[in-house]
Structure 1
């Protein structure tokens, strides 16, 4: 893979004051010699005339050379900081591609090479991808901690604990007749139980970290023509959903992504809850109910208190009933858990946003532990817990089975940072990166 030298635009596309073109691989020195006449001193920014393969000037560029292994990828890396016009960027990349051994980078290939050369573990690479995509301060903080190794450090401690338990178990196998310290197997059992509890705690808190990445999910539920689409348009401050006087206009889920109070919030407008002989509308109602079950917060929009009976089974503790069309309906003083709102006058909408912010910040608040931010992490931890559970239930007369389950637990945890069996996920992971990263 690293026999070739890759090149890509590492900064954002389009006209800009400065664009960064990055190369990584063994041909970086040759590219520098041909395009600027010499290889610049290591890790020093130098202003140089950048020329194409015919010797024609392209731009005055700021050039930085990072010899491997002290570089982002662990290979020789060359960065060309050029003016960000499209013609400059295009001609510079074309000049690089005109040289032997240089090709365009695949998505995520720079980060993949960094992983292969041990410059970062897999969880740090995922943190880097999340940092590039971060929209809010909460996402940025979480991604930065993961990129800097907080999760990898925690995984390392878990694996060390498993290995300690494995040493105890293998002592029973290798030296069954030796005078080993009394209670050796019991000591291993206690360690396994302690570690299993730690992993279960992390897994229980993982949904919070995942929601920071993907967004706090809210479902607006109600009967047809209750005003759900109008409400979501007011919250989005744009026409995100079709509004019509015809009942059953919303057949599928309309999801709007907002940033409220520094948190990413996903608000879903769902089909009106009612019995219907229309197969399409019935499917929309089924999806609406499913989304309500999966949401972090449900907003039950009603125009009459009797409407609550239609979907009260979907509402959970902490959810909010919205007394709709407050501009024309005479609602009595709302009870606890109720809020009168109007999409016409925006009555109650500021208070509703405040409730959403409070709930999102409470549910997605800061955690001192390193988070399990991805489903892949959670699956690996579940597999590790299952292996530890089997080790605890194995017969005391079968230490070989205990040892094998502990090996499987260590192997599962190691997959999070990429220490074992990672080739099957590398292509899928790094393909999600942007070109040039």
Structure 2
């Protein structure tokens, strides 16, 4: 944190503009060295940039943000350069030659914002999700998390539990005085009310489903039309589709967004009882494993023979005359003609939206969910016991879980993993 860091924070050159960020105690000195002066705070100024030898590097917009009221909580400068590769490289060389400056590591600007109290850990996780968001639904949820939608609720719960803890400590410290001899009549109910609020959030759809996509597995025996339908749904000839049984040997997956909803479609090997082909047998085993991971199975085999927690019967040859077809399929489609594809996609979007968090919901990732589960368990238990010492310890356990969620008690390994998700310059 004593170093001053710099990095290109805009897209890779060439580009119209390249934004170079400088953050740390030597930011003002670096700005004066390269732009001849430190301009008025928070006003864009045009300056000629020079290296240590006096050679002009560029004419750029320069902005100066004195800390701590900045994105990183430190002195911060931005150089809005022309976005050519040679210009970016020349400015980076000039900055690297200055004493006390070094190139930033991935996520280091955001990590400094966290370390300096500008954001908490839940907001940082939201920002990481925002940088990788590919659909409108992912963008909305990541932005809400980055803006503190979860943090504000956790802070409220923490403050509430802290007030309840104060009541318990009063009993423990001054239990011999008449006015604090017992816990208030509504104490247990208040604890239980808070625990139920946590439980409501814990049963909401998970962030992993939102981030990775609603997983739809296409399954059935060989030559049941899986690969052809898979190609239709992903809009690409990703899978080899032939009349030869056993063509698909492995699991093939593709992420796709439909109407702003993220999906992962999975094509699998044809399921059959026996095969002499060792590679096909491995493919069948992997296909069986995919059935257990699916949010939905599109079954194109004989009716009522599919497996999966949630399964739709699909007749995949709606364009062909058949003596025998499924009596009551959810959908009749044809990958060859496109018949029924739009209806299938619409139905998939409706189902996925029910399984994914709504625009105003908070979606918890695994780390957040586990910590809130710990807090909920401690609160539920504390509402059922009468020993003040035990209640106080359980409430401390809940507060500790809240602190870890917000990053008040975070390990370096966990922080390294999180901020390693960011690009250099963010």
TM over 0.5, shorter chain: yes
Within 5 Å, give how 1:14-413 maps onto structure 2: 14-180=13-179, 184=183, 187-207=186-206, 209-276=207-274, 280-302=279-301, 307-311=302-306, 313-314=307-308, 316=310, 319-330=311-322, 337-364=329-356, 366-369=358-361, 371-394=362-385, 396=386, 398-413=387-402
Q: Aligned-pair distance for 1:336?
A: 5.7
Deviates more, 1:20-29 or 1:245-254: 245-254
Q: Aligned-pair distance for 1:75?
A: 0.7
- Listed one character per residue, the Cα deviations across residues 24-43 of structure 1 (whole Å, up to 9, x for unaligned) are 01111121122111111111
What is aligned with 1:418? 407
Q: Aligned-pair distance for 1:196?
A: 1.6
2 CA distance for matches of 1:134 and 1:404?
40
Cα distance change, pair 331–382 in 1 and its aligned pair in 2 (3 A): farther
2 CA distance for matches of 1:331 and 1:219?
27
> What's the C-alpha RMSD, in Å, of the aligned pairs?
2.2
- Listed one character per residue, the Cα deviations across residues 64-90 of structure 1 (whole Å, up to 9, x for unaligned) are 111111211011111111111111111
Q: Indicate if the aligned counterparts of 1:372 and 1:378 stay in contact, CA closer than 8 A.
A: no
Q: Aligned-pair distance for 1:175?
A: 2.8
Q: Name stretches of at least 5 consecutive residues in structure 1 with no aligned partner.
A: none
- Listed one character per residue, the Cα deviations across residues 314-349 of structure 1 (whole Å, up to 9, x for unaligned) are 253xx4221012222438897665211112112111
Cα distance change, pair 173–297 in 1 and its aligned pair in 2 (3 A): same
2 CA distance for matches of 1:182 and 1:232?
69
Q: Aligned-pair distance for 1:404?
A: 0.9
- State the SS of the aligned residue for 1:69: coil
Q: Aligned-pair distance for 1:44?
A: 0.8
What is aligned with 1:432? 421
1 CA distance for matches of 2:126 and 2:357?
18
Cα distance change, pair 380–94 in 1 and its aligned pair in 2 (3 A): same
Q: Indicate if the aligned counterparts of 1:12 and 1:19 stay in contact, CA closer than 8 A.
A: yes
2 CA distance for matches of 1:149 and 1:56?
45
Q: Indicate if the aligned counterparts of 1:161 and 1:191 stay in contact, CA closer than 8 A.
A: no
Number of equivalenced pairs: 425
- Listed one character per residue, the Cα deviations across residues 374-393 of structure 1 (whole Å, up to 9, x for unaligned) are 11111111111222233245
Cα distance change, pair 160–235 in 1 and its aligned pair in 2 (3 A): same
Per the normalisation by structure 2, the TM-score is 0.93
- State the SS of the aligned residue for 2:338: coil
Q: Indicate if the aligned counterparts of 1:19 and 1:82 stay in contact, CA closer than 8 A.
A: yes
Q: Name stretches of at least 5 consecutive residues in structure 2 with no aligned partner.
A: none
